[in-house]
Structure 1
Amino acid sequence: MIQKINMKNLSTAKDLYNLQRAAYLVEAKFIGFDDIPPLRESFEDFLNCNETFIGFFEGEELTGAVSYEIEGNELTICRMVVDPKHFRKGIAGKLLNAVEEIDRNIQVYKVSTGKDNQPAKNLYQKNGFILVEDMEVAPGFFISHFEKRK
């Protein structure tokens, strides 16, 4: 089941924080870069971010989540995480579809991932996102920026 996450529920927020760390630790190893911002973020910083979170639950277990921010008619996906025990079950795709159903007035969807994160890049491209640019954000480390326009 997909539902909005209430970040004021500290138990759920802590579950999400731990899920995020587990997912980004796998990504960090995969892309060879461990300075991913969510890995440096304290729980307090996490609670105070201005993002909206949607979670994917299997029963009572939070197995994936996506966060986003909306500005005007643009929606930016800030985080996309899946519990490593639940990789390759289609959870990220279902969360991506849910984000695209949030507001019919959104004209542009944006998302970024590590250039070497081929599974994430495949997910976004399979869902109609177009590579806009690869940007070097640290010496020798590149982020791929994608957009999808209606």
Structure 2
Amino acid sequence: MIKLIDISNRNIANDVLSIQIPSYEVEAKIIGYSEIPPLKDSVDTLLKCEEIFFGYYENTELCGAISLKVDNNVANIHRLIVHPKHFRKGIAQLLLNFAISNFDVKKVEVATGSKNTPAVNFYLKNGFEKTKEVTVNEQLSLTFFEKKL
């Protein structure tokens, strides 16, 4: 089941962090860079992030989440995370579809590590187009995508 979750609730923020860290640890290994900002998040930074969160639950267990900000008919995805023990179950796809269908927007934007081949392929498969690539430092570049609706 997917539902809106209240990230301002400390217990829920802790639950989100408990899937965010392992999820981004996998990305860090894929891209060969362990200093990605989501790995530095804490419950306190999540409480203040001002993003809208939806969570995917199996019974009472949070298995995945998506967060975004919506402004001027544009949804910007900030996180799309699934706990590694729930990879390859279609949870990311369900979360993406749910989030996009719940907002009346003209465009969806997202960025991921350029070397994160599974994420890059996921967004391309879902009709996103690459808009730019930005080199952050010698170890990290980001690819930006958008999908017009």
Where does structure 1 differ by over 4 angstroms across 4 or more consecutive aligned residues?
A: none
Name the aligned partner's letter for residue 50 of structure 1. Answer: E
What is the CA-CA distance between 1:42 and the residue it aligns to?
2.4
Amino acid at match of 1:97: N
- TM-score, normalised to structure 2's length? 0.96
Query: Does the residue aligned with 1:75 lie in a helix, a strand or coil?
Result: strand
Distance 1:100 1:28 in 2: 26
Count of residues paired in the alignment: 149
Residue identity matched to 1:6:
D
Q: Distance in 1 between matches of 2:142 and 2:30?
A: 14
Q: State the superposition RMSD in angstroms.
A: 1.0
Q: Does 1:67 align with 2:67?
A: yes
Any residues of structure 2 matched to 1:22-41 within 5 Å, and which? 22-41=22-41
Match in the other structure for 1:114: 113
Q: Match of 1:12, SS?
A: helix
Aligned to 2:100: 100
Looking at structure 1, the residues matched to 139 and 100 of structure 2 have their Cα atoms a distance apart, in angstroms, of: 32
- Structure 1 stretches of 5 or more lacking a match? none
Matches of 1:78 and 1:97, distance apart in 2: 15
Question: Which residue does 2:43 correspond to in 1?
Answer: 43
Letter in 2 for 1:61: E
Corresponding residue number in structure 2 for 1:132: 131
Counterpart-to-counterpart distance in 2, 1:114 and 1:54: 22
